[in-house]
């Protein structure tokens, strides 16, 4: 009995050292802002390559404005490019869940936020036909991302 209690205490102590304190994570709105900023930077790079006549893309700047309608197909092209650039999709267009998880973790998402955002990426990706890697599928996925994040109350606001 003493041996069992000693093993239990040792196991709990080991688990405690492996667990990250919750205050080490960022709030969901901050995580979404960071992810949005990183994705936006990549989409700017994509825009420079794909649409050299657009130096500042007002559609990207207005993305989180609640009055802005996400309808510019060019944004969908940039989303497809950005997801591929960040290796969040495989070369055949399927979502790379392991890389999405790593991306979210690298942006300090706590386990609950990471799971919700991961599910959002998977669901929006599948429901948009993103595997086709078309601009319209990318636009549909962007609309889904924004709507879901707004429903969570995590939209960072326009910037």
- Tell me the pLDDT tens digit for each residue of 88-132: 999 888 999 999 999 999 988 899 999 999 999 999 999 998 878
The answer to the question of residue 106 being in a domain is yes
The answer to the question of residue 17 being in a domain is no
- Which has the closest alpha carbon to 107: 49, 35, 46? 35
The answer to the question of residue 69 being in a domain is yes
The residue segments making up the domain with residue 74 are 28-152
The answer to the question of residue 58 being in a domain is yes
CATH number reported for the structural domain that contains residue 122 in this entry: 1.10.238.20
Q: Along the 159 residues of the chain, how does pLDDT read in single tens digits?
A: 554 444 444 444 443 444 444 445 667 878 888 898 899 899 989 988 988 886 666 777 788 888 888 888 889 999 999 999 999 999 888 999 999 999 999 988 899 999 999 999 999 999 998 878 789 999 999 999 999 999 999 988 644
CA-to-CA distance for 39 and 71, rounded, in angstroms? Answer: 18
Tokens 């690298």 belong to 106
Q: Is the pTM of this model over 0.75?
A: yes
The answer to the question of residue 22 being in a domain is no
Other Cβ atoms less than 10 A from the Cβ of 64: the count is: 19
Secondary structure of 45-67 as H, E, C letters:
HHHHHHCCCCCCCHHHHCCCCCC
CA-to-CA distance for 85 and 103, rounded, in angstroms? Answer: 12
CA-to-CA distance for 99 and 90, rounded, in angstroms? Answer: 10
The answer to the question of residue 51 being in a domain is yes
CA-to-CA distance for 3 and 18, rounded, in angstroms? Answer: 23
Count the domains in the chain: 1
The answer to the question of residue 95 being in a domain is yes
């Amino acid at each position: 009995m003493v041996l069992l209690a000693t093993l239990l205490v040792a196991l709990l102590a080991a688990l405690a050292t492996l667990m990250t304190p919750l205050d080490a994570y960022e709030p969901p709105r901050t995580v979404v802002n960071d992810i949005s900023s990183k994705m936006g930077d990549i989409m700017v790079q994509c825009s420079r390559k794909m649409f050299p006549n657009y130096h500042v893309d007002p559609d990207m700047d207005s993305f989180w404005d609640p009055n802005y309608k996400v309808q510019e197909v060019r944004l969908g092209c940039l989303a497809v490019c950005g997801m591929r650039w960040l290796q969040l999709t495989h070369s055949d267009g399927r979502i790379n869940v392991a890389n999405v998880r790593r991306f979210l973790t690298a942006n300090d998402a706590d386990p609950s936020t990471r799971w919700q955002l991961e599910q959002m990426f998977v669901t929006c990706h599948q429901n948009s036909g993103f595997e086709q890697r078309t601009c319209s599928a990318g636009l549909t996925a962007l609309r889904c991302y924004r709507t879901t994040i707004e429903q969570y109350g995590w939209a960072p606001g326009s910037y």
